[in-house]
Structure 1
Amino acid sequence: MTLALTPEQRELADSVGRFAARRAPISSTRDTFDALARGDLPLWWKELTDSGFHAVHLPDCYGGQGGELMDAACVLEAAGKASLAGPLLPTVAAGAVAVLAEPSPRVEAVLRRLADGEAATLVLPQNSDFRARADGDRWLVTGASEVIAGMCSAAIALIPAIAGGGDELWLAIDTAHAAAEVEPVAGTDLLTDLGLIRLTDYPISAPDVLAGIDTDRAECVALALTASVSAGIVEWCVEAATAHLRTREQFGTLIGTFQALQHNAAMLLVNSELASAAAWDAVRAAADPPDQHRVAAAGAALTAVLPCPDLVLDTLTMFGAIGFTWEHDLHLYWRRATSLAASIGARSRWARTLGEVTTTQDRDFSVDLGDAESDFRALVAEKLDAAAALRNDAPGRQGDYEHFATGPQRTHIADTGLIAPHWPRPWGIEASPLQQLIIDEEFGRRPELVRPSLGIAEWILPSLIKAGSSDLQEQLIPPTQRGELAWCQLFSEPGAGSDLAALTTRATKVDGGWRINGHKIWTSSAQRADYGALLARTDHTASKHRGIGYFILDMRSAGIEVQPIKQASGESEFNEVFLTDVFVPDGMLLGEPTGGWGLAIATMSEERSAISGYVQFDRAAALRRLAATRSDERDDVVRELGELDAYANAIKALGVRETIRLLDGQASGPASSIAKVAMNVLLRRTFTATLGSTGRLAMTADSDPSVAQPYLRVPAELLGGGTKEIQLNIIAQMILGLPRK
C-alpha cells in the first residue's frame, strides 16, 4: 500500500513513475554519476519542474500547484521507488519549510524561485553552527554546515542562524553569493550530490529574515518527507524481491517455493507496510499540535528511515551475489537508503525523543469526521446517554470483566444494535464504516460507559448469521449479545494445530443429526462455554479442505469432557475437550455438510482481525511506569519505550489508513494479516525490552509493576489465530503470489 489514498494522489504518483521510466531510467543515470556529484542538475530537471512535481505543495499564488504536503510526499515516495536522481527531496523539503514562514516579500520571492524550478536545500540547526551578528540595519552571518544533501546543486539554501541574544533566525541564502563557499564531498548516495557550505559575513537585511518558522516543525516536516522516500525504496524492494523469487531457479526449483525465502519476502512486505503507514502518519501530523507532530515524526524515523538500509540488505540477500554487483540496481537503492538514514542522525536520539513524550501521552489517531451524518450521531448519542443512566448488576458468563458484565445497561446497548453495529438487522444496524467510526467516537466521549464485548462469540456469530437458520439465530444471538451465553472455538487438535484441514474429529450422519467423536485442544474458555463452534470431518473420502462440516455444539451435551490445561502462568484458560458419541442435531450444522472450510476461514479472519487490534492495549505499562521515575536506568528505559511506541504507532496508523480506505468505498486490503504478524513482533520486542529493563522484578510473581505474569501469558497471543509462520505463509502465497510447492 502506498501513501496515496485518493485517486488524485495515486495518479500523481503514477505520473512520477511514468516520467522516471521515460526520461530518467536508472540505466541512463549510471552515466551521470560524476556530473551529479558535482551538483549538475539532471538533463531532465527542467522538464520535471515544468510539470510541477517539485512544487505540488507550494501555494498556487506563488506559482506552485496549490496541493497539500501529502501530495508532495506521494511524489517523493514515487521518486524513491524509481530511484530518481537529483535534488528533488532537498528542494521539496526546502519549499515545505519556507511555506511555514509568515508571508513577506522575501518569502514570496523564495517560493517563486522554487516554483520556477531552482534547486534548493535545507540545513537544520543540529547540522550547522551559523551565527548572525547585528551590523546596523542588517545581519552578517558566519559559520558552516555539516555535509548536506543537494548542497552543490542548490541555488538557495534555507539555514538557521543564532543571533546575539540567542534568537534563531531563518534565512534563505543564495549559494552563488561571494560570501558563500560550497565544497563538494564524495557521497554514499550516488544519485544526489553532497556538500557543505561556509559563510563569511554573509549580509542579510532585516526584512529578508523568514519570520515564523518553528524549528521543531521544520525538522518534523523534513523528516516526514525523508520517510516518504524511504517508504518508496522499500516498496521497490518488495516488488523486486517478489519478481526475483517467482522466476529464479535453483536445484531445478523456483526459489520462491522455499519457505525461508517466502517468510523473508513476507516480512519485507510487513515492514514496508509499516514504513508507509509511519511515513503517512508523520506527513498528516503536520497540522497537529507540536507534541503530536513530534511523536509521529520520531515514529517515522524509527520505523521508516532508520530501518531502510537493513531492509534493502535483506532484499539483497534474497538475490544472493546477483544483488551485490555494481551492475545491479540494488546497490543504488542500498546506498541511498544508507545516506537517508544517516542524514537524520542517531537512532538513540529519536528513540529518546519519542519515549519522553509517550511516557505521559499517546499519539492521537482519531479521524476528523466533521459534522458527517449529524442526525445519525445524535441518535447514537441519545441511545448511549440512556445506557449511561443504567447499571449492570451481574458478571458475564465469559469472565469477571467489566466488558462482559450483564444487566440493564448491556441489555439496552444490545437492543439498540450497538454491540455489533456493522451486523445486519436485527442483530446490528448495518452501520457503514463511517457510522462505525461515529459510534466509536461516541463511546469514547463517555469513558464511564464500558463498551460491551462479545469475546470469542465476536468471531463465531458472523458465521451463524451467514449460514444458520432463523430459529437458531433467534435462539443464540440475542442472549449472547446480552452476555448470558459464553462461547468457545473447537478448531485445533493435537495433530492439527494451525493445519486445520488435517483435523481428524469425525462427524457421522445418524438419524436427525450427527454423531461426533474426537479430541480438541487449546480451546479457550471451554470450561465456562455454553456453546462452541466445532469443525469435524463429515466426508472421509473428500479432499481434506472439502470434507469438513461447521457445527454449533451445545457444550452441555452428553459425551463432552472438558479438562483444563494448566499454563506456565499457573492459570487454566485453555482446555482439552474430548468428544465421545456426542449428538448434534441437523439444525446445528451451518451450511452444507462439506462446506465448513469457508466458514472456518471467515471465523479465523475475524479472530486475526481482533488479535491485531490488541495493539490498542498498552503492553509496555511496566516500562512506562519505570520511565516516569528518576532511576539510573531511566534513559535506557525511555529509549526502549520510544522504540516500542514507534512500532505500535505504525500498526495503529496502518489500521487508520485501512479505515479511511473503507470510508472511501475501497475494498478491504491485507491489513489484518499484516497487523497480526506485526503484533506478534511487537509483543516479542515488548517483553524482551521489559525483561531487559526491569531486572530483578521478574523474579517475583507479584511484582509492582507486574512483569513476570504478563510475560508468562504472552504465548496465548503469539499463537492465537495462527502462528506468525502460518501468517507469513498466507502473506507470501496469497498476497505476494509466490508459488506453492
Structure 2
Amino acid sequence: MSVTLSAEQRQLGESLRQFAARHAPMADTRNAFDALAEGHLPAWWAELVANGFHAVHLPESDGGHGGGLLDVAAILEAAGTVSLPGPLLSTVTAGAVGLLADASPARAGYLGALAAGAPAAVVLAGQSSFTARRVDDHWSISGVSEVISGARSATLALICAGCDDGTELWAVVDTSRVTIQPVAGTDLLTDLATLTLDDYPAGSGAVLAGIDIERADYLAVGLAAAVCAGIATWCVEAATAHLRTREQFGVPIGTFQALQHQAAMLLVNAELACAAAWDALRAVTDTVEQHRMAAATAALVAITPCPDTVFDTLTMFGAIGFTWEHDLHLYWRRATSIAASIGPATDWARRLGELAAAGQRDFTVDLGGAEAEFRADVVATLDAAAALSNDGPGRQGDDAHFQTGPQRTLIAEAGLIAPQWPVPWGLNASPLQQLIIIEEFANRPDLVRPSLGIAEWILPSLVQAAPDALQQRLIPPTQRGELAWCQLFSEPGAGSDLASLTTRAVKVDGGWRINGHKIWTSCAQRADYGALLARTDPTAAKHRGIGYFIVDMRSDGIEVQPIVQATGSAEFNEVFLTNVFVPDEMLLGEPTEGWQLAIATMAQERTAISAYVENDRAVALRALAAAPGSGRGDAMRALGELDAYANAIRALGVRETIRLLDGQGFGASSSIAKVAMNVLLRRTFQATLATVGRLAMVANSEPAVVEPYLLSPAELIGGGTKEIQLNIIAQMILGLPRK
C-alpha cells in the first residue's frame, strides 16, 4: 500500500519516516503548535534541507536531486503518515509548479533558492485578486490572496496574477516585502495566512514564463493527494494495531466482524487513494485533458474522502480517539484542511463529468519495442483471424465473444484465448506478453476477442490437477466454444460459506456417488459440464474432506430447475443431484484436497468480476448528461463522481500490472477490486435512480434504467459477497484475529 511502486521510492519514504522519528516526535510537535502557527520553521528544518527531502524532484543543475514527481510523492506520502509539521507540502508544490516554467535565469534562481532551503508557498490562478500591470521595465502587482497554507513561514511565494489582456503573469515574490495577515488554521501542523501586495515591483528576474495554469492546478492536487494517501495509510496502520490489542468482553475487539469490515474498508479506500494519487502525478506528461481526468480522480477519491476516512478511524477508537491527547485529531484536521484547499468537490466532479461524457482516462501502458518477435507472431495470427469469420452460435450465449467458427478456432489453436496458461492450452505468456496481446486485439476493434465465460474460472483447475487425457478431452473444445460450463459450488445452507457444504460424495467401484442440492448456478441450463464441490469425508476438518469433481451435466440423476429473478428472466438455477455417478478420472487432485482448487477458482472469478469496471453501467447518466435540460448539471456531477471511482479501480489494476512486469509477486488487488467494484455498482445505481426521476417508472425505458438495476445483484453477489471479501481482507491481509 503505497503511492509509489519501486523499491527505491519506498526506501525514500522510509527514510523520511526514520527522519521524523529522530527529529520530529509527536511530543515535540505538540509543544510547537503556537510557533508553527506563527510561521516559525521547525527546529529541524535545516537538517531536512541537508537531507534533500524537500528537493528530491528539483534538477541537479539547480541544487536538487534530479528525481521525478513520484520520487517526491514518496516523501510527501511518508510525511502524511507521520504528520510531519511545517511547510514541506507547500514548498514541494511551489517547486513543482516552478518546474513547469520555461528554462530561464529567473527559473534557475528560484529553484536554486528552494533547493538551498527557502520555504515557499504558491498562489494558484483563482486563489487571489492579484492583477499585474506593466510599468516601465517591471510589473506592478496588487491584490489580496485567499488563505494560503505555508504563506506565513514562506520566504518566497510563487503567485499567479491576471493581466489586462486576459493573460496570466507568474512571479516570484519576496514575502518580506508584502503584508502577511495570519489566520488561525484548521491544520495545527502548519501556518495559514493571506498575502497582500500593493504595487509590488516584479522585474524580469522574478517572472517565470510558460507555466500553464491548468497544469499547475492539477500538479498541486496530485501532490496533495500523496499526503492524503499517507494519512489514509496511517489510518489503516493505527486502526489495525488498535483492533489487535484493545479488548472488550475478554476478547480483542478485532474479532468483532463489524470492526473487521470497517478496517477492511479503510484498506480498500487507502489503496484506491494511493492508486489515484499515483495516476495524477504520472499524468503530468499526458495531454491536458488526460491530466485533468487524473487530477479530478485524485481530488474525488484521495483528497475529498480523506476527512471521512479519519473520522471512520476515530469511531473505531471510540471516545479515546476524540481526545486532545490522541494524535488522531491532528490527522483529521490536516485532512480537512487539505480537502478544503482544492476547492469544492462538486467543481471537480463537474469537470470530470464533462470530460467523461465524451471520453475516458487512457490507462495504456507504454511497452515501447519490447518483445518485437513475439508481437510479430501475434500480429500475423490476428491478421489471419481477421480475414475469417465465425458462423456458429456459442454454447454459452448469443454474444459475439461466444460465437464458434473458423476465426475462433484459429485464435484458440494459437493459444491466444488464455495466453497465460501453459502450452499447449496457452503460451506461458508473461505479463508483458499478455499486454501485447491485449494491445493487438485493441488495434483491431472489428475482431472480437473470444471469451471462455464461466469456463475461464474453472479450466485453470483442470490445467493444474486433471490427468492429461481429461485435459485433452475437455480443454480444446471449450476453447473453441463448443462446450459450456457451470459452477456447482453454492448450496441453500452454504452460500458464501462454501466450507459448510453438505453435498455428499461416497466412494463406489470406479468412481463416486453424489447426492446434494446446488443453487444460484449460472448457465446450468446450457452447461455441458460443471465444476462441483462435494464432501468426501464428513469426519475431516471443515476445509478438508472436500473433493473437486468435474460432472457431466447430462448424467442420470441431475435435475436443473430455473430460478426466476426479479427481472422475470431465469439465468440462475437450482441443481438437484440424486445418485449421480462421477468416474474416478473426473475427480481433480486428492479426494480431500478440493478446497485449495476451489479457492483458486474463486480467485479467478473475483478477478473476472473486478474487470467488469470496463463495462459501462452509467449509460443512462451519460445520456442525461449529454442532453439539454434541468437535470443535466446533476447528472454531470454524478457521472464525474462515478468515473473518478472507476478510474481509481482501473489505476489499481494498471499498478498491479506494472508490479508484475517488474517481477514482483501478486498483491491483494483481486479482493480489493472486488469490494471496490461492489461499491461502484451500488453508487452507480443509486446515483442513476436519484437523477433520472420518473424515467425509472418505465420498465423498458430508453436508455435502460430499471432493467440493469434489477440485474445488479448478480454482480454484487457473484464471486463472493462484499461481506465475505471484507472478511478475507481483514483476516488474511490485515491479520486481524478470527473469533
Does TM, scored on the shorter chain, surpass 0.5?
yes
Aligned with residue 319 of structure 1, among 317, 320, 324: 317
- Looking at structure 2, the residues matched to 138 and 19 of structure 1 have their Cα atoms a distance apart, in angstroms, of 43
Q: Equivalent residue for 2:262?
A: 264
Aligned with residue 566 of structure 1, among 548, 564, 567: 564
| Residue 364 (str. 1) matches residue 362 (str. 2) | yes
| Residue 500 (str. 1) matches residue 501 (str. 2) | no
- Looking at structure 1, the residues matched to 469 and 570 of structure 2 have their Cα atoms a distance apart, in angstroms, of 34
Q: Equivalent residue for 2:199?
A: 201
Q: Equivalent residue for 1:160?
A: 160
**Partner SS for 2:370:** coil
- Looking at structure 1, the residues matched to 164 and 243 of structure 2 have their Cα atoms a distance apart, in angstroms, of 60
Deviations 1:534-582 (A, max 9, x none): 0001111111211110000000001100001100011110000000110
Deviations 1:424-468 (A, max 9, x none): 000000000011111111111110110000000000000001110
Asked if 1 retains the 8 angstrom alpha-carbon contact of 2:300 and 2:348, the reply is: yes
Q: Equivalent residue for 2:127?
A: 127
Q: Equivalent residue for 1:24?
A: 24
- Looking at structure 1, the residues matched to 707 and 153 of structure 2 have their Cα atoms a distance apart, in angstroms, of 58
CA-atom RMSD in angstroms: 0.7
Asked if 2 retains the 8 angstrom alpha-carbon contact of 1:562 and 1:578, the reply is: yes
Q: Equivalent residue for 1:9?
A: 9
Q: CA deviation at 1:390?
A: 0.7
Instruction: Supply the AA of the counterpart residue of 2:374.
Output: F
- Looking at structure 2, the residues matched to 67 and 195 of structure 1 have their Cα atoms a distance apart, in angstroms, of 30
Aligned with residue 679 of structure 1, among 677, 686, 690: 677
Q: CA deviation at 1:376?
A: 1.0
Instruction: Supply the AA of the counterpart residue of 1:36.
Output: L
Asked if 2 retains the 8 angstrom alpha-carbon contact of 1:268 and 1:311, the reply is: yes
Q: Equivalent residue for 1:334?
A: 332
Asked if 2 retains the 8 angstrom alpha-carbon contact of 1:457 and 1:487, the reply is: yes
Q: Within 5 Å, which residues of 2 pair with 1:412-491?
A: 412-491=410-489
Asked if 2 retains the 8 angstrom alpha-carbon contact of 1:4 and 1:13, the reply is: no
Instruction: Supply the AA of the counterpart residue of 2:161.
Output: A
Instruction: Supply the AA of the counterpart residue of 2:513.
Output: R
Q: Equivalent residue for 1:80?
A: 80
Q: CA deviation at 1:699?
A: 1.5
Deviations 1:254-285 (A, max 9, x none): 10000110010001111011111111110111
Q: Equivalent residue for 2:241?
A: 243
Q: Within 5 Å, which residues of 2 pair with 1:166-315?
A: 166-177=166-177, 180-206=178-204, 208-315=206-313
Asked if 2 retains the 8 angstrom alpha-carbon contact of 1:492 and 1:521, the reply is: yes
| Residue 605 (str. 1) matches residue 588 (str. 2) | no
- Looking at structure 1, the residues matched to 254 and 241 of structure 2 have their Cα atoms a distance apart, in angstroms, of 9
**Once the two structures are aligned, what percentage of the paired residues are identical?**
70
- Looking at structure 2, the residues matched to 693 and 301 of structure 1 have their Cα atoms a distance apart, in angstroms, of 23
Q: CA deviation at 1:194?
A: 0.5
Deviations 1:187-226 (A, max 9, x none): 1101011111000000012453211000000000000000
Q: Equivalent residue for 1:139?
A: 139
- Looking at structure 2, the residues matched to 368 and 20 of structure 1 have their Cα atoms a distance apart, in angstroms, of 37
Q: Within 5 Å, which residues of 2 pair with 1:375-414?
A: 375-414=373-412
- Looking at structure 2, the residues matched to 126 and 160 of structure 1 have their Cα atoms a distance apart, in angstroms, of 8
- Looking at structure 2, the residues matched to 143 and 198 of structure 1 have their Cα atoms a distance apart, in angstroms, of 6
Deviations 1:19-50 (A, max 9, x none): 01111111211111111111111111111111
Instruction: Supply the AA of the counterpart residue of 2:155.
Output: A
Q: CA deviation at 1:157?
A: 0.5
Q: CA deviation at 1:72?
A: 1.0
Instruction: Supply the AA of the counterpart residue of 1:585.
Output: P
Q: CA deviation at 1:630?
A: 1.0
**Partner SS for 1:139:** strand
**Partner SS for 2:461:** helix
- Looking at structure 2, the residues matched to 167 and 11 of structure 1 have their Cα atoms a distance apart, in angstroms, of 42
**Partner SS for 2:154:** coil
Asked if 2 retains the 8 angstrom alpha-carbon contact of 1:238 and 1:265, the reply is: yes
**Partner SS for 2:180:** strand
- Looking at structure 2, the residues matched to 598 and 249 of structure 1 have their Cα atoms a distance apart, in angstroms, of 33
Instruction: Supply the AA of the counterpart residue of 1:467.
Output: A
The answer for unaligned runs of 5 or more in structure 1 is: none
Q: Equivalent residue for 1:668?
A: 666
**Partner SS for 1:451:** coil
Q: Equivalent residue for 2:581?
A: 583
**Partner SS for 1:561:** strand
Q: Equivalent residue for 1:521?
A: 519
Deviations 1:490-516 (A, max 9, x none): 000011100111111111111100001
**Partner SS for 1:583:** strand
Q: Equivalent residue for 1:540?
A: 538
Asked if 1 retains the 8 angstrom alpha-carbon contact of 2:173 and 2:206, the reply is: no
- Looking at structure 2, the residues matched to 344 and 732 of structure 1 have their Cα atoms a distance apart, in angstroms, of 32
Q: CA deviation at 1:165?
A: 1.1
Deviations 1:7-28 (A, max 9, x none): 1101111111110111111121
Aligned with residue 723 of structure 1, among 721, 733, 737: 721
Q: Is the alpha carbon distance of 1:206 and 1:113 closer, same or farther for their aligned partners in structure 2, counting shifts above 3 Å?
A: closer
Instruction: Supply the AA of the counterpart residue of 1:3.
Output: V
How many residue pairs are counted as aligned between the two chains? 739
Instruction: Supply the AA of the counterpart residue of 2:35.
Output: A
The answer for unaligned runs of 5 or more in structure 2 is: none
* TM norm structure 1: 0.99
Deviations 1:634-665 (A, max 9, x none): 00000000000000100000000011001101
Instruction: Supply the AA of the counterpart residue of 1:294.
Output: R
- Looking at structure 1, the residues matched to 93 and 669 of structure 2 have their Cα atoms a distance apart, in angstroms, of 30
- Looking at structure 2, the residues matched to 109 and 396 of structure 1 have their Cα atoms a distance apart, in angstroms, of 68
Instruction: Supply the AA of the counterpart residue of 1:8.
Output: E
Q: Equivalent residue for 2:101?
A: 101
Q: Equivalent residue for 2:653?
A: 655
- Looking at structure 2, the residues matched to 544 and 311 of structure 1 have their Cα atoms a distance apart, in angstroms, of 37
- Looking at structure 1, the residues matched to 222 and 454 of structure 2 have their Cα atoms a distance apart, in angstroms, of 39
Asked if 2 retains the 8 angstrom alpha-carbon contact of 1:523 and 1:574, the reply is: yes
**Partner SS for 1:485:** coil
Asked if 1 retains the 8 angstrom alpha-carbon contact of 2:85 and 2:189, the reply is: yes
- Looking at structure 1, the residues matched to 381 and 61 of structure 2 have their Cα atoms a distance apart, in angstroms, of 48
**Partner SS for 1:176:** helix
Asked if 2 retains the 8 angstrom alpha-carbon contact of 1:141 and 1:201, the reply is: yes
- Looking at structure 1, the residues matched to 551 and 382 of structure 2 have their Cα atoms a distance apart, in angstroms, of 34
Aligned with residue 591 of structure 2, among 584, 590, 593: 593
- Looking at structure 1, the residues matched to 117 and 728 of structure 2 have their Cα atoms a distance apart, in angstroms, of 46
- Looking at structure 1, the residues matched to 247 and 514 of structure 2 have their Cα atoms a distance apart, in angstroms, of 47
- Looking at structure 2, the residues matched to 207 and 358 of structure 1 have their Cα atoms a distance apart, in angstroms, of 41
Asked if 1 retains the 8 angstrom alpha-carbon contact of 2:531 and 2:549, the reply is: yes
- Looking at structure 1, the residues matched to 16 and 181 of structure 2 have their Cα atoms a distance apart, in angstroms, of 31
Deviations 1:79-115 (A, max 9, x none): 1001101000000000000000001111110000000
- Looking at structure 1, the residues matched to 513 and 163 of structure 2 have their Cα atoms a distance apart, in angstroms, of 86
* TM norm structure 2: 0.99
**Partner SS for 2:32:** helix
Asked if 1 retains the 8 angstrom alpha-carbon contact of 2:106 and 2:204, the reply is: no
Instruction: Supply the AA of the counterpart residue of 2:146.
Output: E
Q: CA deviation at 1:356?
A: 0.6
- Looking at structure 1, the residues matched to 541 and 207 of structure 2 have their Cα atoms a distance apart, in angstroms, of 76
**Partner SS for 2:671:** helix
Q: CA deviation at 1:395?
A: 1.2
- Looking at structure 1, the residues matched to 207 and 149 of structure 2 have their Cα atoms a distance apart, in angstroms, of 23
**Partner SS for 1:371:** coil
Instruction: Supply the AA of the counterpart residue of 2:322.
Output: F
Q: CA deviation at 1:519?
A: 0.5
Q: Within 5 Å, which residues of 2 pair with 1:697-736?
A: 697-736=695-734
